[in-house]
């Protein structure tokens, strides 16, 4: 029995003469891949006739006549429907029985070039195996008809739609309306606009086929560029560090492209033109293009490389992995969050899913409409969107409804506002009268203070020429001394003075002390913090840059405190409008409290609390860091075997703590006097993360052992 709440979606993707369809279904809140299928068109969907093409069309027509429907594929479809998944179509709905022979239907009635070979018949054979009228359809835009325009945050300040039209479209195009335009905006305000010019042939073809094979009208959800569809998958299925670059390499039939992203935002797209046919030379040509693009852009775009597309084989994956890119070895695209229909796992291999990445992305976006990781772009023509709405109203009707709603709502709100204003005015009058009594008493005292300040300023000008900046440096050294006294086990080993700034270099055993030092003087900048180990004791060296404190402020500070001391003793307190504090995640507060306990040296208590945090909040983003600190606690408490297990679990997740875990695994085996395993993990750290600061310490330990 078909469940009423089940929803279907269909992603249709054309790459050259290859057309792929992905059917997804939403069952009990879970999105599943139901079916993947494709066909090769014998000719373009709407071929253009030119002189000298008759012989070529005749040959294509002969091939089309020889082409018979794939009955084995249709039989597999019947077997698939026997799974009795709620919401799937039955054999009666499909219009097939066991003895049905699928014949290519005649060309659609409104296509008048009967003598020209067309791919419409081939597409129709594929389409009629899917219940397209049962769900919504999404298709891709022809990349050859797309023009792209990157804009900065200043361009996107206001009236972006109008500015993009003026920038990208001619007056003739605006008048003819033979285009579709949309854009995406990154968190930093930059963006990417794209314009499709001309006819959506794939959309027209599906609409033409609709009139032949179904009485129900197809519903179209959106049209996306290939680029947007691929970026949606990366944003929804992966969680890379925001500072890392990610390159999605798509190798299709005609569509071969590299898309560079950072922090889930589009950075650039570079097309790859391949003339080689030999697989090995083809791979080398793609690799050369990527390296060239990286050199030109001077950015590490090969930190993370994801492979997808029709022509990505296991040999291709092995080839790019052996090339040793910047960070992670290249991997084939994996779609996390999608389930497979039972009984289809053998057919829907990882390789096949990566080949159908774009149609799956198109269909996925239809069903997961609230997913924020999907770009809200849509190139579907406005006239189609309007024609599919169940309820439409003219523009003047909206004005009337808005006016009625406005007058009704404004009358109610105004009455409430007047009542509240009366209450506020009465309260303000009472408060003002109280303040006025205090203000009158304070005016004379304030005048006296101002007079003394003016006298003091004049005297300071005279003294300033005599003492120079001696008081300033006395103030700096005094504040540093007080701060070092309050922040134990922190020392400064170098202080450099420049014309407009001065810098300090120091060490500490508590990272939080660095923040306290940075707050001593204005315009401070923490330039670097590096972690080190001395006999397994963690130390951090740091560099902080400051602006010089105002000399006048230094000289006035003591006098002003004395002159204004009487203000603190008075009952007068100025009215301050309190601002509501921004609520923080309670779970994050718990984690931060445990971190404070750990760095305060209470290792045993921190160990128990980190374990409780992992058990009580297994889905929280800080669980990964908590697991690493459990290992550190176990290491310091002498539970070396347990610490090794914890660090191995951290290493398996391949996150930001991987270098630290490798270092601590080497230290743990060193305590167990297992020199072979210790050198293995330190060597692994040096090779995999050569630029990490911990690699320096690992190299030193390896040199000590190896001599």
Letter string b/e over residues 89-118, b meaning 16 or more CB atoms within 10 A of that residue's CB: beeeebebeeeeebebeebbeebeeeebbb
Among 366, 436, 368, 121, residue whose Cα is nearest residue 219: 366
Q: What is the C-alpha separation between 113 and 93, in angstroms, rounded?
A: 32
Q: What is the C-alpha separation between 41 and 70, in angstroms, rounded?
A: 14
Q: What is the mean pLDDT of residues 368-377?
A: 89
200 close to 380: Cβ distance less than 8 angstroms? no
Residues in the chain: 707
Q: What is the C-alpha separation between 660 and 113, in angstroms, rounded?
A: 68
pLDDT at 115 over 70: no
3-state secondary structure of 270: strand
All structural domains of the chain, each given as residue ranges with its CATH number in brackets, are 470-547 (3.30.1360.100), 586-706 (1.25.40.10)
109 close to 194: Cβ distance less than 8 angstroms? no
For helices 693-706 and 658-671, give the axis angle rounded to 10 degrees: 30
Q: What is the C-alpha separation between 699 and 703, in angstroms, rounded?
A: 6
Among 605, 660, 659, residue whose Cα is nearest residue 631: 660
Give the alpha-carbon dihedral of 596, 600, 602, 606, to 10 degrees.
20
| Tokens 């500070």, located at residue | 557
Give residue-wise pLDDT tens across range 459-499.
777 666 655 566 677 777 877 777 776 666 788 888 888 87
End-to-end CA distance of the chain: 74
| Tokens 């949309």, located at residue | 182
Look at the alpha carbons of 50, 56, 58, 61 in this order and tell me if their dihedral is positive or negative.
Answer: negative
| pTM of structure | 0.50
Give residue-wise pLDDT tens across range 544-580.
988 888 765 655 554 554 444 444 444 434 433 333 3
3-state secondary structure of 149: strand
3-state per-residue secondary structure call for 262-274: ECCEEEEEEECCC
Residue 159, by phi and psi: left (phi above 0), alpha (psi -120 to 50) or beta?
left
Structure-token pair, residue 208? 């033409």
pLDDT of amino acid 282:
86
Centroid of chain to Cα 69: 43
Which helix (H) or strand (E) segment is 701 a member of? helix 693-706
Q: What is the C-alpha separation between 15 and 83, in angstroms, rounded?
A: 31
Q: What is the C-alpha separation between 200 and 198, in angstroms, rounded?
A: 7
Q: What is the C-alpha separation between 686 and 694, in angstroms, rounded?
A: 8
pLDDT of amino acid 86:
46
Give residue-wise pLDDT tens across range 73-111.
544 544 544 444 444 444 444 343 333 333 434 444 444
Q: What is the C-alpha separation between 559 and 70, in angstroms, rounded?
A: 95
Centroid of chain to Cα 601: 37
Task: Please state which of the ranges 47-56, 341-350, 351-360, 414-423 shows the lowest mean pLDDT.
Answer: 47-56
Q: What is the DSSP annotation of 211-249?
A: HHH-SSPPEEEEEE-HHHHHHHHHHHH----TTSEEEEE
pLDDT of amino acid 226:
93
pLDDT at 596 over 50: yes
CA atoms within 13 A on the CB side of 173: 14
Sort strands 30-40 and 18-27 into parallel, antiparallel or unpaired.
antiparallel
List the alpha helices (DSSP H) in 337-469: 350-355, 357-367, 382-387, 395-467
pLDDT of amino acid 582:
34
Kindly tell me the burial class for residue 611, based on how many C-beta atoms sit within 10 Å of its own C-beta (0-12, 13-18, 19 or more): middle
pLDDT of amino acid 225:
95
pLDDT of amino acid 370:
86
Of the two residues 646 and 115, the one the predictor is more confident about is 646
Angle at 175 between CA 172 and CA 181, to 5 degrees: 90
Q: What is the C-alpha separation between 539 and 599, in angstroms, rounded?
A: 12
Which helix (H) or strand (E) segment is 207 a member of? helix 201-213
Sort strands 245-251 and 304-308 into parallel, antiparallel or unpaired.
parallel
What percentage of the chain carries pLDDT values higher than 90?
31
Q: What is the C-alpha separation between 533 and 541, in angstroms, rounded?
A: 11
Backbone φ and ψ for 502, nearest 5 degrees, come out as -135, 155
Q: What are the C-alpha distances in Å from 591 to residues 494, 586, 588, 598, 617?
A: 35, 9, 5, 11, 10
pLDDT of amino acid 665:
94
Q: How confident is the model at residue 426 (pLDDT cuts 50, 70, 90)?
A: confident
What percentage of the chain carries pLDDT values higher than 70?
79
pLDDT of amino acid 667:
93
pLDDT of amino acid 344:
54
Task: Please state which of the ranges 124-128, 274-278, 381-385 shows the lowest mean pLDDT.
Answer: 274-278
Structure-token pair, residue 3? 């469940």
Structure-token pair, residue 514? 């660095």
Give residue-wise pLDDT tens across range 664-684.
999 999 999 999 999 999 999
Sort strands 304-308 and 331-332 into parallel, antiparallel or unpaired.
parallel
pLDDT at 204 over 90: yes
Q: Which distant-in-sequence residues (6+ apart) come within 8 Å of 439 by Cβ? A: 572
Structure-token pair, residue 214? 């179904």
Backbone φ and ψ for 313, nearest 5 degrees, come out as -105, 175
Q: What is the C-alpha separation between 510 and 542, in angstroms, rounded?
A: 11
Q: What is the C-alpha separation between 23 and 80, in angstroms, rounded?
A: 12
Extract the runs of DSSP E, i.e. beta strands, from 438-590.
490-497, 501-508, 525-534, 537-547
Q: How confident is the model at residue 13 (pLDDT cuts 50, 70, 90)?
A: very high
Q: In 10 A of CB 48, how many CB atoms?
A: 8
503 close to 523: Cβ distance less than 8 angstroms? no
Kindly tell me the burial class for residue 435, based on how many C-beta atoms sit within 10 Å of its own C-beta (0-12, 13-18, 19 or more): middle
């Amino acid at each position: 029995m078909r469940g009423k709440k089940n929803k279907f979606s269909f992603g249709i993707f054309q790459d050259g003469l290859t057309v792929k369809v992905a059917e997804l279904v939403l069952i009990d809140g879970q999105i599943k891949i139901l079916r993947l299928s494709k066909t090769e068109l014998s000719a373009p969907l709407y071929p253009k006739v030119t002189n000298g093409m008759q012989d070529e069309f005749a040959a294509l027509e002969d091939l089309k006549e020889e082409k018979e429907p794939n009955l084995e594929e249709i039989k597999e479809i019947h077997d698939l429907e026997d799974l009795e998944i709620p919401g799937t179509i039955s054999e009666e709905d499909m219009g097939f029985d066991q003895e049905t022979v699928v014949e290519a239907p005649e060309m659609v009635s409104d296509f008048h070039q009967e003598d020209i070979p067309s791919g419409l018949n081939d597409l129709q054979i594929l389409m009629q195996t899917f219940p397209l009228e049962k769900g919504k359809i999404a298709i891709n835009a022809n990349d050859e008809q797309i023009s792209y325009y990157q804009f900065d945050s200043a361009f996107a300040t206001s009236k972006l739609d109008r500015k993009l039209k003026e920038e990208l479209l001619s007056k003739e195009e605006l008048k003819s309306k033979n285009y579709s335009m949309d854009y995406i905006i990154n968190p930093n305000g930059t963006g990417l606009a794209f314009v499709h010019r001309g006819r959506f042939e794939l959309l027209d073809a599906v609409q033409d086929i609709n009139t032949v094979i179904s009485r129900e009208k197809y519903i179209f959800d959106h049209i996306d560029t290939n680029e947007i569809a691929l970026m949606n998958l990366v944003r929804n299925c992966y969680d890379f560090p925001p500072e890392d670059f990610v390159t999605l390499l798509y190798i299709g039939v005609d569509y071969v492209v590299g898309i560079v992203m950072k922090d889930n935002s589009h950075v650039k797209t570079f097309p790859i033109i391949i003339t080689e046919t030999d697989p090995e030379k083809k791979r080398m040509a793609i690799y050369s293009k990527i390296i060239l693009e990286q050199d030109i852009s001077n950015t590490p775009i090969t930190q993370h490389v994801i492979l997808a597309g029709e022509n990505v084989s296991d040999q291709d994956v092995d080839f790019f992995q052996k090339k040793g890119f910047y960070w992670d070895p290249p991997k084939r695209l994996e779609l996390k969050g999608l389930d497979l229909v039972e009984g289809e796992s053998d057919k829907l291999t990882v390789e096949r899913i990566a080949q159908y990445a774009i149609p799956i992305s198109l269909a996925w976006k239809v069903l997961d409409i609230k997913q924020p990781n999907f770009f809200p772009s849509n190139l579907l023509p406005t006239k189609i969107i309007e024609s599919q709405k169940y309820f439409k109203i003219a523009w003047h009707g909206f004005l009337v409804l808005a006016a009625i709603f406005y007058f009704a709502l404004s009358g109610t709100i105004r009455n409430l506002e007047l009542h509240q204003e009366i209450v506020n005015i009465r309260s303000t009058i009472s408060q003002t009268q109280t303040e006025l009594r205090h203000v009158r008493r304070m005016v004379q005292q304030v005048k006296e203070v101002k007079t003394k300040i003016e006298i003091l300023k004049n005297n300071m000008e005279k003294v300033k020429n005599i003492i120079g900046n001696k008081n300033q440096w006395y103030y700096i050294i005094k504040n540093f001394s007080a701060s070092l006294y309050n922040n134990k086990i922190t020392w400064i080993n170098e202080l450099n003075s420049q014309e407009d700034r001065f810098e300090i270099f120091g060490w500490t055993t508590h990272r939080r002390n660095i923040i306290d030092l940075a707050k001593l003087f204005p315009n401070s900048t923490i330039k670097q913090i590096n972690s080190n180990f001395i006999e397994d004791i963690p130390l951090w060296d740091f560099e902080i840059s400051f602006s010089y404190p105002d000399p006048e402020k230094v000289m006035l500070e003591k006098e002003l405190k004395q002159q204004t001391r009487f203000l603190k003793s008075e009952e007068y307190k100025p009215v301050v409008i309190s601002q509501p504090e921004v609520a923080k995640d309670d779970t994050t507060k718990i984690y931060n409290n445990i971190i404070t306990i750990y760095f305060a040296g209470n290792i045993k208590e921190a160990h128990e609390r980190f374990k409780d945090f992992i058990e009580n909040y297994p889905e929280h983003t800080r669980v990964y860091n908590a697991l690493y600190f459990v290992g550190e606690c176990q290491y310091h408490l002498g539970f070396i075997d347990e610490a090794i297990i914890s660090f191995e679990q951290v290493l398996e997740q391949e996150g930001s703590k991987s270098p630290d875990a490798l270092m601590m695994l080497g230290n743990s085996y060193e305590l167990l006097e297992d020199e072979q395993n210790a050198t293995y993990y330190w060597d692994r750290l040096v090779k995999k993360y050569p630029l990490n600061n911990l690699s320096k310490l690992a190299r030193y330990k390896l040199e000590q052992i190896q001599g």
